[in-house]
Structure 1
Amino acid sequence: MAIAPPTATERASRVKLMIFDVDGVLTDGGLLFTAEGDTMKGFNSMDGHGMKLLRQAGIETALITGRKSGIVAARAKEMNITHVYQGVQDKLQAFSDLLQQTGMSAQECGYMGDDWVDLAVMLKVGFAAAPANSHPEVIARAHWVSEARGGYGAAREVCDTLLRAQHKYEALLAAACSGEQRGLVG
């Protein structure tokens, strides 16, 4: 008798470390350049708040991105993300390093990516997620796809999905409604 593969919710319930790509996931993928050649990126505050909620619920977060940017370093610092890999040519190697650093298994990790460079990691983790506007090959291989586009709430959706799957969403919502989450901004 064949055993059905785990559902996305079952997979999400086991995530202890959620990893995010940056461009196209935490941003809309657009790159704005100043006349001096500096790059600017926009981040969604709800995505940031969702990532803070994950950490508050005991789920670690990390970033693995191909570009190197002071903007990403500043955003990661603001959000207290300690595992930040920038300028990465080989995301699978960065993922391997992250597993070694955290002591987690690949099956305890989730990854949200949007393009081919993310596939190698997405195929290794226990929970692979993608924004709605990801490349079709990424969507075809994801366990879960957001309704929102990258940079427009996709990361928040996956955070909420993890919190619900792990039965932590309602307690965090109740704390927010009672004012117990003061100062927790994205």
Structure 2
Amino acid sequence: MRRLLREWQWRQQRPALAALELLVLDVDGVLTDGGLWFDPAGQLQKRFDVRDGLGIRLLQQAGLNLAFLSGGKGGATEVRARQLGIAHCLVGIKDKPVALAQLQQQLGVTSATTAFLGDDLNDLAVRQQVRLLLAPVDAARPLRRQADAVLHQRGGHGAVRELAERILQARGEWQSLHRHGWRDRND
């Protein structure tokens, strides 16, 4: 029953997904599984899903602006952002709504064309600034309940890739990729 409800939610959001100009991603619990690993020297290490990375690249090639917005720090996020060509990697952010508003103003994007994928209570704070508040299936219950739609995948395990495919499907761009594959155009 939950799966049917989730699919109904996604069908309702197709027009908003097609109109997106900015997708903002929380990091810990969305791009990662939320675990924090430290090496013997005390350096933070995080695990990122390679399929999420390709999903990000597909969205970039489709012309979508992407940003990372995280309260955490540690260096791994910045490295991943550079690898993926994410120009807006905002880390160590204490007030997500203020940082998001500044980013939207900088890019000339409105809340009507912005989506945010988050996983916990601190992500609820951006609700009024986005058209779509989205969550991985393992997000905190209060966020899942207030989200416009909930993904089937867990954070750090394909949630971003699933969202990328849904956005590209809503835009009518997925069928060609699905049929012919993808080549990095290095643009």
What is the TM-score normalised by the length of structure 1? 0.90
* Cα distance in 2, alignment partners of residues 172 and 124 from structure 1: 31
One-letter identity of the residue aligned with 1:34: D
Matched, 1:15 2:20: yes
* Cα distance in 2, alignment partners of residues 81 and 101 from structure 1: 15
Matched, 1:126 2:131: yes
* Cα distance in 2, alignment partners of residues 148 and 28 from structure 1: 11
Q: Report what 1:138 is aligned to.
A: 143
1:181 corresponds to which of 180, 183, 186: 183
Deviations 1:96-133 (A, max 9, x none): 11111100001111110000100121342111110000
Q: Which moved more, 1:120-129 or 1:132-141?
A: 120-129
Q: Report what 2:50 is aligned to.
A: 45
1:7 Cα deviation from its structure 2 partner: 2.0
Matched, 1:108 2:113: yes
Q: Which moved more, 1:156-165 or 1:31-40?
A: 31-40
Q: Report what 1:93 is aligned to.
A: 98
* Cα distance in 2, alignment partners of residues 173 and 103 from structure 1: 32
RMSD: 1.8
1:175 Cα deviation from its structure 2 partner: 4.1
1:29 Cα deviation from its structure 2 partner: 0.2
1:24 Cα deviation from its structure 2 partner: 0.1
What 5-or-longer segments of structure 1 have no aligned partner? 1-5
**Gap change, CA 1:107 and 1:30, over 3 Å in 2:** same
Q: SS in structure 1 opposite 2:125? A: helix
Q: Write the mapping of 1:158-177 to structure 2, written as runs, cut at 5 A.
A: 158-176=163-181
1:182 Cα deviation from its structure 2 partner: 4.9
What is the TM-score normalised by the length of structure 2? 0.89
1:60 Cα deviation from its structure 2 partner: 1.3
2:61 corresponds to which of 56, 70, 73: 56
1:26 corresponds to which of 31, 36, 55: 31
Q: SS in structure 2 opposite 1:7? A: helix
The answer to which structure has the higher helix fraction is 2
What 5-or-longer segments of structure 2 have no aligned partner? 1-10
Contact kept? 2:44, 2:75, Cα under 8 Å: no
One-letter identity of the residue aligned with 1:51: I
Number of residue-to-residue matches in the alignment: 177
Q: After TM superposition, which residue ranges in structure 1, 4 or more long, deviate above 2 angstroms?
A: 171-175
Deviations 1:33-83 (A, max 9, x none): 122221110000000100100011111111000011211111000000001
Matched, 1:69 2:74: yes
* Cα distance in 2, alignment partners of residues 160 and 182 from structure 1: 17
